[in-house]
A and B are shown apart, each in its own frame.
Chain A
Amino acid sequence: MTGAPPGPRTPAGAPGARGEPGAGAAPPKFAVAARAALADTGLRRGLRAGAAAVRERRSAAPEPADWEDLREAGRAIRDGALLGLDAHLEELERAVTEAGGRVHWAAGAAEARRIVTGLVRAAGAAEVVKSTSAVAREIGLNGALARAGVAVRETGFAELVAQLAEDDPEGPAPYRDRARIRELFARRLPGAAGGPPGDPAALAEAARLHLRERFLGARVAVTGANFLVAETGTVVLLESEGNARMCLTLPDTLICVAGIEKVVPAWADMEVLLQLLPRSASGAPMTPYVSSWTGVTAGDGPREFHLVLLDNGRTKALADEVGRAALRCIGCSACLDVCPVYERTGPAPYGPVRAGPIGAILTPQLRGVERAAEASLPFASTLCGACADVCPVKIDIPEVLVHLRGRVVESRRHRPVPTPELVLMRGLAWTMADPRRYEAAVRRGTRWARLMSRGGRIRRLPGLLGKWTEARDLPAPPPETFRAWWSRRHR
């Protein structure tokens, strides 16, 4: 979740764990990136099964009677956290420091990588255990640590599988079924004697045994966080596997990396968020493990605690009055589970920040819309609205998508070479600004359209307009326009 999302959104072998952002060539736009995923029938089967399983689990657990009231409270709590973010961050820093922790501020990804790498070096560790963290993926932390000579041991099941398979951190995550995971484990985990049989319990056991050694020997751990309570300096982390508990309990040094938007004002707010997040993530009333800690505790757990607060574009999103709603997100992934686009493409085409509908509104705001990859994300949606219906903090995702589409168009208005769409729209504006031009265009257009039609339907429009008729027919226009008919009758 950041930290470990307590839920089951990605199939076991496809964590969507990308590595270094911004390295190498510019990432492709969504539609291009999605092609590989759409062609992978195994991935699509896995995603479909995953989404169906979640929907089933959710419908088996009926909503509590006060669900709407909880959502309203959750929305207001998160809004309050964002509107007073500066004061809450200062309060958080004070409380964490008083409790024996240290707070670090990272304005960008490079600074965050530098801070974490420095902390690991200072601890004299050549290896860190790491639990699932969306922020670590966003800033490309694994790559930075590897370059600094630090071995990163992923401890979440899906991340462990991806790491053992040496997946290209920039390429799409291939889907692996149990048989393929079993084969991978047999090859890569020498401890799993003879290779575990393909049932889930045996695979879990193999991972457990392999990771236990890592945990017991670990001196430094890196985790994410779900909530940072400003009032008390408390970090709250939800998870289902128990690997985060290992990370935050066993090593001497704990490094927690979190976006500044994770702040909530008061401990009492957890009474709402600890109901909203588990149910939205997995349908269960509570996630198997919820851990919280404040600084360090003598004789229990790490002796050193570092909290790295990351901006990396969040303040840009905060400055957008419509777009800032995306920062309310509590990371449940419910919007992924109901999204018809995500169900087909999986996480990879959304890039390294966040997948699914929330990624489509968060990523373009954090990274800007100058590049094609980010600019295409607000369009990677049918605007069906299922995401807004399930969002526990009532983020109106379609509204933000439409708003961001506007921003993308706006950003392209002043390019030296205008887009074909813009040329078309300018032409239309010119035509429609004058009644005679308009009538002439409609007359001519009608004649051409009727010439192109067969049996009352136009199957293909010429030129760029042809894209519109790739998937649909156009009815032929009537022989006479309304305006022509009107002027004939009232002559």
Chain B
Amino acid sequence: MSSRDEMLRRVREALGGARGAPPEVPRRYERRLSAEDAAAGADVPALFGERVAENRAAVRHVGADELATAVAAALWGREAKQIVVPADLPFGWLAELDGVRAMADRPAIDVDALAAADGVVTGCAVAIAETGTVVLDGGPTQGRRVLTLLPAYHLCVVQAEQIVGTVPEAVGRLDPARPLTWISGPSAAYGADMPGAEGMHGPRHLEVLVVED
């Protein structure tokens, strides 16, 4: 008997009469923002901005017409000279860059060049207000996962309509068949004796631009 069959046999034997009688899942929890959160944040993009800041990331709210300027200003503020971007990043986002070289990920950039890059600019698939999270799914404006992993700085552009209130809303919008990365602030080395050791691996700095019309 293969280990597979043996394990399945053991599971069935262990469960006996209880097998396959799943309890009803009581789903009384909130699927949308509670009145309290909504009131505190005035509106969803504002609440998202607050929570991103609580996650030790920088956040700015900009109008659609200011986006290119804001991207250039953020990169300038980081003294970024060489950045990488997904191949399908809208050209307009980078229109105001001056003195910053942007390398598109086509053909695929090798890991050493990615690791040497000063930053990466991407969009996202979904953002979550309640938790201050951006979720990337490798779709348009996001590129491969490694793009947002190796550079020292990640600038993420979030459109207001991409922001949902809660985790259940985000899970409902996302396709699990795609590789997903949920990012809530830069990484951290937790531990009693390591206070404030931020940016272990992955970008040391995360900055979010929230685009509202």
Binding site for B on A (CB under 8 A): 6-8, 10-13, 46-47, 49-50, 53, 64-66, 69-70, 72-73, 76-77, 79-80, 82-87, 89-90, 93, 99, 105-107, 111, 155, 157-158, 177-178, 181, 200-201, 203-204, 207-208, 211-212, 215-216, 229, 232, 234, 239-243, 245-246, 249-250, 260, 265, 267-272, 274-275, 282, 284-294, 297, 299-301, 309, 311, 315-316, 318-319, 321, 324
**B131 an interface residue at 8 Å Cβ cutoff?**
yes
- B200 in contact with A242 (CB, 8 Å): yes
**Cβ contact within 8 Å between B179 and A300:** yes
* Selected A-B contacts with CB under 8 Å, 19 pairs: A7-B190, A65-B30, A69-B28, A76-B25, A105-B3, A200-B197, A201-B196, A201-B198, A203-B194, A234-B176, A250-B146, A268-B171, A271-B167, A288-B183, A288-B184, A289-B184, A299-B108, A300-B145, A315-B13
Residue positions of B touching A, CB distance < 8 A: 2-4, 6-8, 10-16, 18-31, 34, 36, 51, 55, 108, 111-112, 115, 128, 130-133, 138, 144-146, 149, 167-168, 171-172, 176-202
Rounded to whole angstroms, the CA-CA distance of A271 and B182 in the bound complex is 13
Contact, CB under 8 Å: A309 / B7: yes
Complex formed: what's the CA distance from A79 to B31 in Å? 22
In the bound complex, do residue A86 and residue B12 qualify as a contact, i.e. CB atoms below 8 Å apart?
yes
CB-CB < 8 A to A321: which residues of B?
A: 18
Q: A241 near B189 (CB under 8 angstroms)?
A: yes
B193 touching A11 by the CB < 8 A rule?
Answer: yes
Q: With contacts A85-B15, A200-B194, A285-B131 known, is A291 near B181, CB below 8 A?
A: yes
Please judge, given known A-B contacts A90-B8, A292-B179, A318-B11, whether A300 and B138 are in contact too, CB under 8 Å: yes
Q: How far in angstroms is the closest Cβ of chain B from A405?
A: 22
The reply to whether A294 and B172 form a contact with Cβ atoms under 8 Å apart is no
Instruction: Provide the residues of chain B in CB contact with A241, threshold 8 Å.
Output: 187-190, 200-201
Known: A86-B19, A90-B8, A288-B184. A301 touches B145 (CB 8 A): yes
A-B pairs with lowest CB-CB distance, top 10: A242-B201, A50-B192, A242-B202, A80-B22, A8-B190, A319-B14, A242-B187, A290-B182, A200-B197, A12-B191
* 8 Å CB contact of B200 from A50, A80, A204, A292: A204
Is there contact, CB below 8 Å, between B172 and A268? yes
Q: Is the CB–CB distance between A250 and B111 below 8 Å?
A: yes
| B183 adjacent to A178 (CB under 8 Å) | no
CB distance from B188 to the nearest CB of A (A): 5
Contact of A83 among B7, B18, B183, B188 (CB under 8 A): B18
Docked pose: A290 CA to B167 CA in angstroms: 12
How far is B8's CA from A272's CA once the two chains are assembled, in angstroms?
Answer: 27
Which of B2, B24, B34, B183 has the most CB atoms of chain A within a 10 A radius of its CB? B183
Contact among B28, B31, B146, B186 for A288, CB-based, below 8 A: B186
Q: Which residues of B contact A291 (CB under 8 A)?
A: 179-182
Distance in angstroms between the alpha carbons of A26 and B18 in the assembled complex: 36
Given known pairs A105-B2, A201-B197, the reply for A83 and B111 (CB within 8 Å) is no
Once bound together, how far apart are the Cα atoms of A369 and B149, in whole Å? 45
Give me 15 other A-B pairs in contact (C-beta within 8 A), A76-B26, A207-B200, A318-B14 excluded.
A49-B192, A65-B34, A65-B36, A77-B25, A86-B11, A105-B3, A178-B194, A208-B200, A245-B145, A268-B171, A285-B132, A286-B131, A288-B187, A294-B176, A294-B177
Minimum CB–CB distance for A76 against chain B, Å: 4
Interface of B is mostly: loop
Contact B6 A107 (CB under 8 A): yes
Output the nearest chain A residue to B8 by Cβ-Cβ distance: A86
Contact present for A157 and B200 (CB under 8 Å): yes
Give which listed residue, A7, A73, A215, A315, contacts B27 with CB less than 8 A.
A73
Residues of A within 8 A of B167 (CB): 271, 274-275, 286
Task: Give the nearest-CB partner of B114 in chain A.
Answer: A216
Q: Are B179 and A286 in contact (CB under 8 A)?
A: no
Contact A318 B15 (CB under 8 A): yes
Task: With both chains docked as a complex, state the minimum distance between the C-beta of B8 and any C-beta of chain A, in angstroms.
Answer: 5
When the two chains form the complex, which single residue of B4, B115, B196 contacts A105, counting CB atoms closer than 8 Å? B4
CB <8 Å contact, B20 and A83:
yes
A288 and B115 CA atoms in complex are apart in Å by 20
Contact indicator A157/B146 (Cβ below 8 Å): no
B-side contacts of A99, CB under 8 Å: 177
Find the A residue at minimum CB distance from B170.
A271
Once the chains are docked, how many angstroms separate the CA of A301 from the CA of B21?
Answer: 38
Q: A85-B15, A204-B189, A216-B115 are in contact. Are A285 and B130 (CB under 8 A)?
A: yes
The answer to whether B184 and A287 have CB atoms under 8 Å apart is yes
Shortest C-beta distance, B99 to chain A (Å), equals 27
How distant is the Cα of A82 from the Cα of B182 in the complex, in angstroms? 27
A32 to B25, CA, bound (A): 43
Instruction: Pick the most buried of A11, A246, A289, A318: most chain B CB atoms within 10 A of its CB.
Output: A289
Once the chains are docked, how many angstroms separate the CA of A157 from the CA of B112? 23
For B19, the chain A residues whose CB sits under 8 A away are 83-84, 86
Residue of B nearest to A231 (CB): B176
Q: Is the pair A315, B11 in contact by a Cβ cutoff of 8 Å?
A: yes
Residues of chain B contacted by A90 (CB below 8 angstroms): 8
Shortest distance from the beta carbon of A399 to any chain B beta carbon, whole Å: 17
Whole-angstrom CA separation of A488 from B132 in the bound complex: 78
Minimum CB–CB distance for A252 against chain B, Å: 12
Residues of chain B contacted by A79 (CB below 8 angstroms): 22-23
Residue in B24, B31, B180, B191 whose Cβ sees the most chain A Cβ within 10 Å:
B191
Report the minimum CB–CB distance from A389 to chain B (whole Å).
19
CB <8 Å contact, A204 and B145? no
